[in-house]
Amino acid sequence: MTKEKFKELAYLYIFGELDEEERTRFENILLENDEFQKEYDEIKSFCQLVTENKPAEANEAVLTEARYQLMRTLRQQQSPTELFAERGFLHGFLLRNYKFAFSAAVTVIMGVFIGYLMFSSKHTEPQYMAAKEQNYNITIPEKTTQSAEETKPAEETNTGKEDGFDAIKPVNNQVRSNNPVTDRFLAASLISESNPGVRLRTINKISEKSEKYESRPDDKVKQALITALKTDSNPAVRKEALNVLTKYPFDAQIRDAIVYVLSNDKNSGLRVMAIKTLSDLKFKGQKFDDNIKTALSKQASNDQNGFVRLHAASMLKETE
Amino acid sequence: MNKIDTQLILSAQQGDMSAFEQLVYKYDRQVLNIAKSFNNNDEDAKDIYQEVFIRVFKGLKDFQFKSEFSTWLFRITTNVCISYHAKKKEMDSIDKEIGSDGEDGYTLGDSLASDSKTDSVAINAEMAEQITQALEQLPPQQRMAFTLKYYEDYKITEIADMLRCSEGTIKRYLFNASNKMKMKLKNLLY
């Protein structure tokens, strides 16, 4: 056997890549040949040197940070238009080169239509337009229940006193319906807006809508809130997202989100808030599964913050 | 293929982000470890991690279950590691030219031959650094095969799958890389 062939066998032997028969044959070669035995010892020392000095594995903090960055990047790559457009047909139809002009026109028309839906007011708009045309002076009542027929032209009243806009009370064009288009806009704004103040106001708006209309929450909005809770860089935004999610019916996704915050959030205040949220849910009669208990147990023993450990241990006792 | 992986992939292909997240969390530690072993640098490892999973995210809709998801993922990982390394080498080449002071053939033995006293921790760190430097001089395919075998303890068949080569080619990479490394580190062995 040549020295080169022996070296290859030696490496394979050390790697554990030889079968039973080949291993036995190799061991016999070692016993019979001192030079090969010496060569084998050198190779073994080299392999040990390398494996004993291997680079340290990436620690938990590096992994967590990499995950945060990845999820944020992926959410930003999901552009707002994808939340609105149908897959397949519309995607291909609007984005082919030779239909670019048509798709631009369609986008403009869609934008005008969405703007109309968001900002039009059925009660005040007709009155204002009528007054503008006939130079009427009209008042905007606090509760906009007045119809166009009830508004009388200024010439007919002849009281010598003009009615006008009350400059103190602003005209408030509230969106009175649960408009899914509005929901999608809010969800898109929450994901893609770079200003944390705007994201915070978006969450407040979502909260206001869910309280006011007591409607079933839109799934896209809920997903956007969960994403913000897990990946937003601003702790105030994450805190508000958690507040709003607790108002939604408790399900597996919200449970996983709360457990994620408890286990991974860098801000200890938010971890405490997650525990408090669980406590409130328990008070309302919600039963906890093993996922939650495991997360609490882990935080009770491993969390860096003593306050969090205390709360987690206390919560764990209550669940047992 | 693993049934759980299949379900997660199908859901993720339909746009379910939480399914994609679960898929990521199942394998991302291994991806990060491979990247870290190859580059020995946390920042580079994170960059590679991002690139790998962005490619997976974009390519998942075309995944046809012809292989295991993990095999496909680790193939992407090794490709990204190698191409990242090539790009970085190009960027660093100018700095290296300026900074070169004719240190060809330098081995750790030469530095340890000096009279300076170092404690065992410093020696180990220096040893690791020299092994890393020796590794950086290997061609990328050999370096990847070496890293996957010595540091991540993958089998030769698995490495062949990841690098899309035959087992014979991987063995050749390993032997050549090991012989070169052994030559460069010979003063550490005796």
Of A11-15, A253-257, B60-64, B119-123, the range with the highest mean pLDDT is: A11-15
* Cβ–Cβ < 8 Å for A314, A296: no
Chain A environment of B28 (Cβ under 8 Å): 63, 66-67
* Cβ–Cβ < 8 Å for A141, A124: no
Interface of A with B in 187-206 (CB under 8 A): none
Chain A environment of B24 (Cβ under 8 Å): 67, 70
Cα–Cα distance between B187 and B109 in angstroms, integer?
Answer: 5
Question: Is B36 part of the contact surface with chain A (CB cutoff 8 Å)?
Answer: yes
Q: How much is the pLDDT for A10? A: 93
Chain A environment of B29 (Cβ under 8 Å): 58, 63
Estimate the crossing angle of helix A3-15 against helix A34-52, to 10 degrees: 40
Altogether, the residues listed in chain B come to a count of 190
Fold type of domain B104-190: Arc Repressor Mutant, subunit A (1.10.10)
Question: Is B175 part of the contact surface with chain A (CB cutoff 8 Å)?
Answer: yes
B127:A53 CB<8 A: yes
Structure ipTM over 0.85, yes or no? no
Mutate which: A46, A72, A82, vs B, most B CBs within 10 A = A46
Distance (Å) of CA A146 to CA A113, A138, A162, B74: 26, 11, 18, 67
* Cβ–Cβ < 8 Å for A55, B150: no
In this structure, whether the domain defined by B1-90 belongs to CATH 1.10.1740.10 is answered with yes
Is the pLDDT at B101 greater than 50? The verdict is no
Burial class (CB in 10 A: 0-12, 13-18, 19+), A310: middle
B189:A49 CB<8 A: yes
Q: How much is the pLDDT for A289? A: 84
Tens-binned pLDDT, residue by residue, of chain A (320 aa): 888 899 999 999 999 999 999 999 999 999 998 999 999 999 999 999 898 888 888 888 889 999 999 988 888 776 554 544 445 555 555 556 667 888 889 999 999 999 988 887 654 454 444 444 444 444 444 444 444 444 444 444 444 444 444 444 444 444 445 566 777 777 777 777 788 888 888 888 888 877 765 555 678 888 888 888 988 888 999 999 999 888 888 888 888 899 989 988 889 999 999 999 998 888 888 888 888 888 899 899 888 888 899 989 988 888 77
What is the distance in angstroms between the Cα of A191 and the nearest Cα belonging to chain B? Answer: 13
- More reliable by pLDDT, B53 or A219: B53
Cα–Cα distance between A85 and B39 in angstroms, integer?
Answer: 41
In chain B, list all ranges with CATH 1.10.10.10: 104-190
Of B36, B49, B124, the CB nearest to A70: B49
Structure token digits, residue B183: 């030559």
Q: How much is the pLDDT for A273? A: 92
Chain B environment of A73 (Cβ under 8 Å): 50, 54
In chain B, list all ranges with CATH 1.10.1740.10: 1-90
Lowest-confidence pick of A92-106, B85-99, B102-116, B135-149: B102-116
Of B45, B181, B182, the CB nearest to A58: B45
